[in-house]
Structure 1
């Protein structure tokens, strides 16, 4: 079970849910329906919060989240299950890579005290935000690119 504070929910989980739902729209080449987007993001954030509270091994929650995102996007946003699953996997892998790069740079900066920094939930949340911000920039950039090429469709 992962202990999650209200701070982590507001600062990390909700923004991450917003980015993941946005990425699903983007990688599925679908224009955003703002109401459905916000509803799906809040529901995903709540599901992620609940999944992280489950008494399961670390890492299993990621797999459950990969399954949860397509279910939410299919039922609420009417995105096809194949596109939603593909988007979920791509976004998760991209976030893992970006978090790895982020941790690499943090290890260069903090050297031996990185373990202490990562053991503090508040600091870990704050120092984890650059990877989420870069993911958001990549997804927004790709969405804008698709919009300019007129490749976005309505559901």
Structure 2
């Protein structure tokens, strides 16, 4: 079981959802419709929290997470299914790369014990925020560039 606290959902899950769905809008070249954007983000965060309560391993949670992201993109944001799949895979890949860079920095540069960090919810939030910040530093400027160039529909 990969249980996470409500604090982690609020401080990590919701911002992650906001960035993921902004990335989906950028990749599919759609303007953000605020109601749909916020609804999909909140649903994604709540479902992620509920998924983590299930007695399943991390790989299964990742696959379910991707399926739910795609479903919310199609059902709520009205994206094409092929574009949603493409966006979901690209976003997850960007997140994995940024998490990998972050883990490398924590273990080899900061010389911290990853097991201790992952066992403490507050430490986990603090030490893994840079990876979310990195994803945001990629997604937000990309969306803003598309918006400025009027490439969003």
Give me the TM-score of the superposition, normalised by structure 2.
Answer: 0.94
Offset at residue 127 of structure 1 (A): 0.8
5+ residue gaps, structure 2: none
Residue 6 (structure 1) aligns with: 6
Number of equivalences? 153
CA contact (8 A) 2:2 2:57 kept: no
Q: CA deviation at 1:131?
A: 0.6
Task: Point out the more displaced range, 5-14 or 117-126.
Answer: 117-126
The CA distance in 2 between the partners of 1:9 and 1:40, in whole Å, is 15
When the two structures are superposed, what TM-score results if normalisation uses the length of structure 1? 0.93
The aligned residue for residue 136 of structure 1 is 136
How far residue 121 of structure 1 moved from its aligned partner, in angstroms, is 2.0
Deviates more, 1:54-63 or 1:92-101: 54-63
Q: Secondary structure at the match of 1:9?
A: helix
Higher mean C-alpha deviation, range 115-124 or range 51-60: 115-124
The Cα shift of 1:108 comes to 2.7
Q: How does 1:1-150 map to 2 (within 5 A)?
A: 1-111=1-111, 113-150=113-150
Instruction: Find the residue that maps to 1:111 and give its secondary structure.
Output: coil
Partners of 1:57 and 1:11 in 2: CA distance: 23
| Gap runs ≥5 in structure 1 | none
In the TM superposition, what whole-angstrom CA distance separates every residue of 1:54-91 from its partner, at most 9, and x where no partner exists?
11112210111111111111111111111111111100
In 1, the alpha carbon distance for the partners of 2:45 and 2:114 equals 28
- CA, structure 1 residues 112+135, in 2 after alignment: closer, same or farther (shift >3 Å)? closer
C-alpha displacement at 1:100, in angstroms?
0.5
